[in-house]
Chain A
Amino acid sequence: MGDQNPDHSRTEAGRVLVPILIDTLVRTSQLSLVAVGLSMTWGIVRFANVAHVQYAPVGAYFALVAASGLGLGVVAGSLVGIVAAGVVGVLLHLFFFRRLSSFSSATALIGSLALSIVITASIQAIAGPRPERLPLPSAPGIPIGDAFVTRAQVYVVVLTAVIFVALFLVLSFTNLGRAIRCVAANPDLASSSGIDVRRISTAVVFAAAALAATGGVFIAVDTSMSLEMGSTLLLAVFAAVTMGGIGSVGGSLLAAAILALAESTVLRIDFGAVFGSHPLLIPISYRPAVGFVAVILVMLFRPQGLFGLGGRRA
């Protein structure tokens, strides 16, 4: 093909690629933060905790209350919200899920479904059904080529990177991290080798809920928070966790990135051009289908994860 107008084609590519890149990075941050906690706790609690994604809206709404209700401001308010969500996660683990798991994992699974509904209904009853925003000053977007990136989006991506580096360092190089990995991989073996499994589990559950809450706050910062935040995350997050391999931090991050990329590109691909017919774009409202379809395909064909980084528990 002749390159008659290189300048034009460069801007053309930039016009498509830059928004995809921004979109993917922001979405990866949000998905991976929620997914990584589920991935870490799944090996410990041994049932698919459907309620995990609900820590995202819980964190976001707590942050809202702390930021505007208590007047702490967005940064301090978000921190309070995240810690509070972590505490909620621990309390639920100690007084709800432990008991249900002792009956059967099916009971715990149904319980987690019940809990998600209770959380959604509570938020709706207290905060009302309308989406809410964190009290952020409106800042002008930073132009990159033809696209814009908001200051909030930059913070979200950078902070997520920092969190994952920190998480990686803690898990790899500290005693606590080694204990956590050991417990996540095989709780029975860990307890027989002298690790205080209860204490470690509690710590992991706190971290997992807090990370999910961070994801929720980041979504709220980027757009807004709503009741449906948890349920819209649910299947994409489960897809990311199974794709990445249960228990694998790096796997969750990588899988979240793949899903995010898929979500932002699939909608922009002109399938008409691919098949040589009329323009045929998948409508934007089908965006959630990427997660739905991904979860079905991954669980059916690669239940052990795409990359062999983590393991599926027996």
Chain B
Amino acid sequence: MLDFALYVATIAAVYALFALSLNLQAGVTGLLNFGHVAFFGVGAYSSGIVALHGGHWLLGVLVGVVVSSLLGAVIGRLGRTLAADYWAIVTLAVAECLRLVVVNEGDLTGGPQGISGIAGPFSSVSGLAGSLSWLVLCVVLAALAYLVAETLTGMQFGRVLRLLREEPMLAASLGHNITAEKTRVLAVAAPIAAVGGSVYTLYISYIGPNQLLPIETFLVFTMLIIGGIGNNRGAVFGALVIQLIYAGSRFLKDIFPIPDQSASSVRLLIVGLVLTAFLMTRPEGLFAEKLRRIDVHQ
């Protein structure tokens, strides 16, 4: 039971990384990235592939950060010519291409079976100490990511992103290069998700193509909508809530007679319905984005 609680908390912290990264894109800048899972995938597979070749886990994390940042910059650059909904579809297509490559290039990625037995930082630490170390690491990473995201959102960089989300023409008239800003925010947000992907892979020591399905992106959007899109605190809170729903649904089948094979779909259904309900009744989420006060007397 304690192990399970630690596991849930650790995964929630990892998901907070994804949510904070997507919030910088979708919440702060208004870029609906339907292929967000690609950044997670780049981080996860960088760690997996580096581990497969006997590299140190830190190298895997580093590769993931660099590659995802480049991928983010490329995707952000595409936003130059695309309307918002076209961009969303294109990002989805990019993520699906990535997944297809992962499934088919078995020599590199392990194919449909994925890569297992990946050694992480606490592989030698076993039992409760190991679980606790993981939890501390993930919570520290999530806290760091929160600090970074919150600082970025509050300073001029994020202010301009928020302006171009609401009033792109005004932003352009003030000398802000919209394409460059979109490219930069993606290049900065992507590594946050990639670190999440790496840590996740090292933690469960496995990565497979089924973790790159569009459903993962959808889960992160659900976290943002529940928590309050545009609000970093909301993103973290949403990650926690979704993780709790997921954990709670495990106990659902102790109460209701749900066959094992449909347990995962019931869980998805619950999450989907929660999201739908929020969209219909409270689209601004539990913590709505607030005005940012600026300290005048510094």
Contact = CB atoms under 8 A, between A and B. Distances in A.
A292 B276 contact: no
A283 B215 CA distance: 26
Given A48-B85, A109-B32, A299-B82, A125 B266 contact: yes
A300 B79 CA distance: 9
B273 A118 contact: yes
Contacts of B214: 231
B280 A106 contact: no
Contacts of A99: 280
Contacts of B239: none
Nearest to A299: B86
A117 interface: yes
B272 A117 contact: yes
Nearest to B278: A114
B284 to A, nearest CB: 9
Contacts of A129: 261, 265
A272 interface: no
Nearest to A106: B32
A235 B279 contact: no
Interface in A279-307: 283, 285-286, 288-289, 292-293, 295-296, 299-300, 303
B77 to A, nearest CB: 11
B52 interface: no
B84 interface: yes
Interface residues of B, number: 42
Contact of A303 (B83, B221, B269, B280): B83
B144 interface: no
Contact of B280 (A96, A105, A109, A125): A96
B97 A292 contact: yes
Interface string B91-119: 01110110010011000000000000000
Interface string A229-249: 001001100100010000000
B88 A285 contact: no
A113 B32 CA distance: 11
B97 A293 contact: yes
Interface in A88-141: 96, 99-100, 103-107, 109-111, 113-115, 117-118, 120-122, 124-125, 128-129
Contact of B94 (A107, A125, A296): A296
A255 to B, nearest CB: 15
Contacts of A105: 84-85
A286 B104 contact: yes
B121 interface: no
B275 to A, nearest CB: 5
A118 B276 CA distance: 9
B88 A109 contact: yes
Contacts of B78: 300
A48 B88 contact: yes
Given A128-B261, A242-B86, A289-B100, 19 more contacts: A48-B86, A113-B221, A114-B222, A114-B276, A115-B272, A117-B215, A117-B218, A118-B273, A118-B276, A121-B268, A124-B268, A238-B89, A296-B93, A296-B97, A299-B86, A300-B81, A300-B82, A300-B90, A303-B83
21 contacts: A106-B84, A110-B225, A111-B279, A113-B221, A114-B221, A121-B272, A122-B269, A124-B268, A125-B262, A231-B214, A238-B89, A289-B97, A289-B100, A292-B97, A295-B89, A296-B97, A299-B90, A300-B81, A300-B90, A303-B82, A303-B83
Interface of A: 47-48, 50, 96, 99-100, 103-107, 109-111, 113-115, 117-118, 120-122, 124-125, 128-129, 231, 234-235, 238, 242, 283, 285-286, 288-289, 292-293, 295-296, 299-300, 303, 312
